[in-house]
Every structure is written in C-alpha cells, then in structure tokens.
Amino acid sequence: MKALVKGAPGPGLELADVPDPRPGPGEVLLRVKRTGICGTDLHIDTWDDWAARTIKAPLVVGHEFVGEVVEVGAAVTRVKPGDLVSGEGHIVCGTCRNCRAGRRHLCANTIGLGVHVDGAFAEYVVLPEQNAWVHGHPVDLDVAAIFDPFGNAVHTALSFPVLGEDVLITGAGPIGLMAAAVAKHAGARHVVITDVSEPRLALAAKLGVDVALDVSHSAIADVYDRLEMTEGFDVGMEMSGQPSALREMIANMTHGGRIAMLGLPSREISVDFSTVVLKMLTIKGIYGREMFETWYAMSVLLQAGLDLTPVITHRYHYTEHAAAFDTARGGHSGKVIMDWES
C-alpha cells in the first residue's frame, strides 16, 4: 500500500510502498478515506527537537482520519466490516489505576497512533477495537476525519459551563475555531477570539463569534465597552501556547474565572500568580479527549446542527502531500484535509 512515511531521522516525509497491515485478534483494519493534518505531523515533518526525542523511524505518520472497516480480528465483537469509523489516536494500557477507574484519558502509559506506532496517512490502518468510533448517523467525511482535533475542542470548550457566560479564546487555529463554534452552540453570551492572523480571524467571524480580535493592533480590554461587559471574562480557553496570550487571559478574567489550557507552550511561561490567587482563578490542563464521553458529545453536537465545514479550508489528494503540508504550515488556513481514495 501507499503510505506517508518518516523513513529515517531528519526533515521530510516520503510517499512509499509499505506492507499492508494485518489486524490482530482485538483490532480492526480500515481502508482510509480522509485524513487531517495536525500540528504534531508538522513537527514530525520538520524534525524539531521534540520529534527527534520522540519518533522512532521508520514510521507511518498521521492520526486524524476516517475510514471504512474492511476486516476485523477474531476477538472483535462490536465493530463490523462496512462500518464508518473515526479513530481515537490515544491508545491506553487498560490496566493502570486511571484506566481501571474509567478515566482512560488520564492513562500515564498512553501511546500515540502515528507517533509511537504506525498511523493513518496510508491506504490502510490498524486500530484497536476500543479506539474505533463507529458513526451511527450520517456525517460528512471531511468532518469525520477531524474528530480527533474536534474532540480536543469539545473537551476544552465544555470543561466549564459556558451557558450565558462571556468566553475568551486565545488562538484562532483550527482547534480554537472549533472551540469557538462549540461555545456559541452551547449558549455562551459572548465569544471573543484573538489571533494575529487575519485569514483565521476572518474564519472566526464566519463561525459567528462576537469579536475576532487582532491583538497586534488592539488590546483585549478594548472589547469590554463594545460588548457592554462590566467585568472580565468568565471562561477562558488558551489554545495558542504563547506566553503573552496566557498572561493577557489571566489579566482579563473576572474574579472566580476558569481557564482551560490546551495550547502547549514551547518554553516556560512566566505568570503573575498573585493575580491567579487574588482573583481565585482555576486553571485546568487539557490533553486529548475524555474517552469516550467527549466522542458522544461530538456526535450529538453535529446531530444538533453544529456546522464545522467552515473550519475546513483546503483539500488535497494524498499524492499532493507536500503542498498540503506547506498550506498547513503557513498559518493562514483552517483545517487541511487529504483524500486517500483513488
């Protein structure tokens, strides 16, 4: 089969012929239909310090995907050939304290599809049955391909109640955009999203945010009068990983405000913790999805009319992977999809 492979340590990916995978007793084999490009894939392609420490080549990359089940292992009982499946890319041990307590998203032994084991940028991929989310209702294939990052957005956006609240989101990348759409759908009074990319802020406006703010020209506090806000924001979602974004968020939270932090900083962040204490703020780290409560919420949100299609801005065939990665790396796009069907 064809697959996008990190063949050896160093920058770059290659489209190569690799053996077709075979499912084990508790696994399912899927024919991949669509995949989404994630920031993790860009790190692996570039071969930065994180990738050099983490990735063992050769490796088939990719973890955002949707596919059709074509074969199941002998011990598989729930998933069947013909099912349309999105994949949960975090593979957990099942035996640690958190796994046994039903808190699989907190498994300390998690390994990543397309990071530690061969992934989904390929014509076929193998997945543990427990990681297969079978779509029971019609879903757009491009949207189904990005259930992984959509789950990050839902997990972040619904970590704290947003109904009637004023919400600040820092970072209008694809996950920030999806989180904004979820917050509006869930009844937030005002949603303000910040970035320095005009194309991404324009996408946010299409998704219905109240203010899409370019923080290279305006301060967050400037929106208070426009939105008739008398205090700071009730809920914050930090998506950028930028030190200045977290500091500005903390400065603009109301007393008792709550912050969900998904953005992964590339360096240490200096924070005024006296403000955190005096305002009695809550800061919660978010990683991945709550398996599988978030997946249930994702499907329900789509059935209830949440429209994610504006977040998807570019589509390529997998043979155009270089152009697809360049677009995703440029910082001006929403979600970039690769089509793996002939």
User: Is residue 169 a known part of a binding site?
Assistant: no
Catalytic residue chosen out of the listed positions 43, 116, 185, 332: 43
User: Is residue 268 a known part of a binding site?
Assistant: no
Catalytic residue chosen out of the listed positions 35, 40, 156, 313: 40
Q: Fill in the DSSP letter of residue 113.
A: B
199 by DSSP, 3-state: which?
A: helix
User: Is residue 107 a known part of a binding site?
Assistant: yes
What would the two tokens of residue 201 be?
């802020």
Instruction: Dump strand ranges (E) for the chain.
Output: 2-6, 14-17, 27-36, 59-60, 64-72, 84-87, 90-91, 111-112, 124-128, 132-134, 166-170, 190-195, 211-214, 233-238, 253-261, 282-285, 312-317, 335-339
User: Is residue 38 a known part of a binding site?
Assistant: yes
Assess whether 317 carries a catalytic annotation. Answer: no
- The CA distance from 255 to 257, in Å, is 5
User: Is residue 83 a known part of a binding site?
Assistant: no
User: Is residue 234 a known part of a binding site?
Assistant: no
- The CA distance from 125 to 118, in Å, is 8
User: Is residue 136 a known part of a binding site?
Assistant: no
Assess whether 40 carries a catalytic annotation. Answer: yes
Long-range contacts of 208-212 (CB under 8 A, 24+ apart): 208/181, 208/184, 209/180, 209/184, 212/172
User: Is residue 64 a known part of a binding site?
Assistant: yes
User: Is residue 99 a known part of a binding site?
Assistant: yes
User: Is residue 93 a known part of a binding site?
Assistant: yes
User: Is residue 63 a known part of a binding site?
Assistant: yes
User: Is residue 267 a known part of a binding site?
Assistant: no
To 10 degrees, what angle do helices 39-46 and 321-329 make? 110
Greatest pairwise CA separation for the chain in angstroms: 63
Active site residues: 40, 43
Which residues carry a binding-site annotation for Zn(2+)?
38, 63-64, 93, 96, 99, 107
Residues flagged as binding site for NAD(+):
175, 195, 200, 262-264, 286-287
Which residue ranges are tagged as binding site? Answer: 38, 63-64, 93, 96, 99, 107, 175, 195, 200, 262-264, 286-287
